[in-house]
């Protein structure tokens, strides 16, 4: 009996027979997560970010939920080369403004 050669790889089809994922596609990869709180700035260094970095911030509380008299200050993100950085703007009112706490997920494509 001869050797049976089968192609190797991964393909995923939808119900209509269309390929929705193939080994040639780039898939987003989660590198890590960071807990952001109290308006602290920070950064992470990872060479995989140079492949095309992305961020997803998941706040603990949605903007506007339960805040009647102050502003909610969300973090700002930037990716430059292999560096992901985040920071918060200064409070306008120390009494009523709050910093948005949450979890930052980041990765590469």
Residue 7 has pLDDT above 70, yes or no: no
pLDDT tens, residue by residue, 37-48: 989 999 999 999
- Average model confidence (pLDDT) across the chain: 84
Which region among 23-27, 51-55, 74-78, 97-101 has the lowest average model confidence (pLDDT)?
Answer: 23-27
Q: Are 33 and 55 in contact (CB under 8 A)?
A: no
User: Can you tell me the distance from the alpha carbon of 100 to that of 41, in angstroms, rounded to the nearest whole number?
Assistant: 12
Query: What are the residue ranges spanned by the domains of the chain?
Result: 26-108
pLDDT tens, residue by residue, 51-92: 889 999 999 876 555 555 667 888 999 999 999 999 999 888
């Amino acid at each position: 009996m001869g050797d049976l050669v089968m192609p190797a790889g991964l393909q995923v089809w939808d119900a209509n027979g269309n390929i929705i994922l193939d080994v040639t596609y780039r898939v987003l990869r989660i590198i890590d997560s960071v807990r952001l709180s109290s308006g602290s700035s920070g950064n992470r260094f990872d060479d995989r970010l140079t492949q095309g970095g992305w961020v997803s911030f998941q706040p603990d509380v949605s903007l506007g939920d339960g805040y009647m008299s102050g502003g909610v200050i969300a973090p700002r993100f930037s990716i430059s080369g292999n560096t992901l950085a985040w920071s918060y703007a200064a409070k306008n009112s120390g009494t009523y403004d709050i910093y948005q706490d949450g979890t930052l997920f980041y990765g590469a494509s």
